[in-house]
Chain A
Amino acid sequence: MESRLFEKPVYRLAGDNGLLVEFGEGIDSRVNAKVRAMARSLGKDRPLGVLEMIPTYRSVLFFYDPEFTNPDKLCTLIEQVEKTLEKIDIQPFKIVEIPVCYADEFGPDIENVQKTHGLTRKEVIHLHSKPEYLIYMVGFTPGFAFLGGLDEKLYTPRLATPRMLVPEGSVGIANNQTGMYPIASPGGWQIIGKTPLKLFAPDRANPFIYKAGDKIKFKPISKPEYDLLAQRENC
């Protein structure tokens, strides 16, 4: 899909208490910058009646209480804020290294990804671990990071029927996206590996090791290295 920035936001209804505001199409760092600026601007002083404001790749979802607000009021507000967006800076990022073991036992779909593109295991690993991926958004489950920057040679569709349970730490691909599963959960991504790191640790002072706007770099590791790191994480 070609990415582009919309001239005016596109509004879509998500039931009687959700309003989805789209700023562009596709996965695009300019579109996402606008999303993050909007979230930052409104996040400081959440509008009356807004229970949740969720920034994502190209849209912001407003979860509101119809007792206090409605889509008309929200649209007026969003259009006012939009005029000021260019002046808002987006936080600087850090690069977070994530070790990944791409062995069969951790990546049940890696062979499928190889076959789809006529690549060797080594090529898939190389293509997946080379880029620095921008975290466009966090969601789906605690700390699930949606990353942009996947090499086109690895674009693979989602599974036709999602799995009921994908193990914690799994790393996967869905079309032009790649990401990690911080907790075991259902999911439709093609699973190609697993990290031994705990990506969501509610008992740690900071349960997350990255946030939207940071960058992720995958580092291929062997099974023995995986076991060692996994042991260390569990101490």
Chain B
Amino acid sequence: MNALKVLAPGGFTTVQDKGRFGYQQMGIPVCGVLDSFAFNCANILVGNDENQAVLEITIMGPAVEILTEMDIALTGAEMEMTLNDKPVEQWKSIRVKPGDIVTISQVQTGCRAYLAFSGGLKVPRIMDSCSTYVGGKIGGFMGRPLKKGDILETHEARVLKKPRAIPVAQIPQYPSSVGIRAIPGPQDDYFDCGMTALFEKGYMVTAKADRMGYRLQGSPIPIKSGMPKSIVSEPSMPGSIQVPPDEQPIILLVEQTVGGYAKIATVISTDLPKVAQTTPGDTIRFEKTDLKTAHRLYHQEKNKILKIKALFVK
């Protein structure tokens, strides 16, 4: 079912779901949404199952013409949105009809927004996922970011009986200086004063920040003397903080599988959305945490989503 036509694609708009798991051993990265909290909220708002494909919008929003009656919802980064030139709110479901024009403009705070549609976007599943892997030119809509004129389909779905809204208290803020918790390792033994630098000084997000990784700039993170400058290549995780010989950290994200530089620490999964909502020029302050705390936060985060979901299910 044709659902929408792209009138303007925005800065970098891709189809994403939770990600593509099980293929890293062939070099296929996980991909998927960078801000899972905003993604989950968007699907809940339009009454979808949790892993329906949405649009991930970066910095500048798209303009779309609606081709069928449905509910839509925009979450994540703060962006101005209009429906037929009238402002509409984020974090709420919006009923749209054929011929309606939805325009999403420049980001105000944050970096990435998520636009969900009743039923979810219908694209071919490649290796069990609808996520776009831009570097590999596979998945999502033709393996690439959206372009003007693209027509996207959605799965059949009913519209909501009652509009939905995420309670204001649950809507995250996206400050330009953010604390990010990380667990030392896997190669924390490669660093001594470098470890102190990482957790004491703030790091600036550079212009080289995308779905593959965020290059940061700040106090150098030297490798201990006597340790090799690189390691035998090994897999990385979304959130791995690797330190190349220029001693400036890079947070690896979802389009990366293996790296050859030592990884001083790993951002905890709960805080990855916060990283993804920073833009060049913002400051990241790393805070040391441990596995027990991180797992407690992981469960809290999961429960938060379940509670939000429960608000709308009778």
Contacts and interface: CB of A to CB of B under 8 A. Distances in A.
A53 B230 CA distance: 23
Interface stretch (A62-70, A90-98, A217-225, A227-235): A62-70
A54 B135 CA distance: 20
B258 A27 contact: no
A157 B260 CA distance: 11
B25 A139 contact: yes
Contacts of B179: none
B313 interface: no
Q: Name the residue among B21, B186, B229, B235 with the largest chain A CB count within 10 angstroms.
A: B235
A18 B266 CA distance: 9
Contacts of A216: none
B185 interface: yes
Interface string A29-52: 000000000010000000000011
A160 B267 contact: no
A14 B233 contact: no
A164 B208 contact: yes
Given A51-B22, A141-B136, A15 B237 contact: yes
A106 interface: no
A144 to B, nearest CB: 5
Interface residues of B, number: 56
A118 interface: no
B135 A56 contact: no
Nearest to A140: B258
A138 B186 contact: no
B266 A57 contact: no
Contacts of A102: none
A160 B223 CA distance: 14
B149 interface: no
Contacts of B25: 39, 52-55, 137-139, 212
B295 A66 contact: yes
Contacts of B187: 12
Contact of A12 (B185, B239, B259, B295): B185
A192 interface: no
Interface residues of A, number: 56
Q: Name the residue among A17, A139, A177, A208 with the largest chain B CB count within 10 angstroms.
A: A139
B126 to A, nearest CB: 8
B298 interface: yes
A20 B186 CA distance: 7
A132 to B, nearest CB: 20
Contact of A17 (B256, B260, B269): B269
Contacts of A58: 232, 234
Contacts of A186: 212
Interface string A118-157: 0000000000000000000111111110100000000001
Nearest to A28: B232
B257 A140 contact: yes
Given A54-B257, A164-B208, A14 B27 contact: no
Interface in B203-257: 208, 212, 228-230, 232-237, 239-240, 244-246, 256-257
B26 A142 contact: yes
Interface in B256-314: 256-261, 263, 266-270, 291, 294-295, 297-299, 302
B266 A14 contact: yes
Q: Name the residue among A55, A67, A157, A162 with the largest chain B CB count within 10 angstroms.
A: A162
Q: Name the residue among B143, B229, B234 with the largest chain A CB count within 10 angstroms.
A: B234
Interface in A155-177: 157-158, 160-162, 164, 174-175, 177
25 contacts: A1-B232, A12-B185, A13-B185, A14-B185, A14-B240, A15-B182, A15-B237, A16-B291, A16-B295, A16-B297, A17-B237, A52-B21, A54-B24, A56-B258, A57-B232, A59-B234, A61-B237, A63-B21, A67-B302, A138-B27, A141-B27, A142-B26, A142-B28, A177-B233, A188-B244
Given A16-B291, A58-B234, A142-B136, 11 more contacts: A12-B185, A39-B25, A56-B234, A67-B302, A137-B25, A140-B259, A146-B258, A160-B245, A183-B135, A184-B135, A200-B136
Would you list the 3 A-B pairs with minimal beta carbon distance, nearest first?
A15-B266, A16-B294, A12-B186
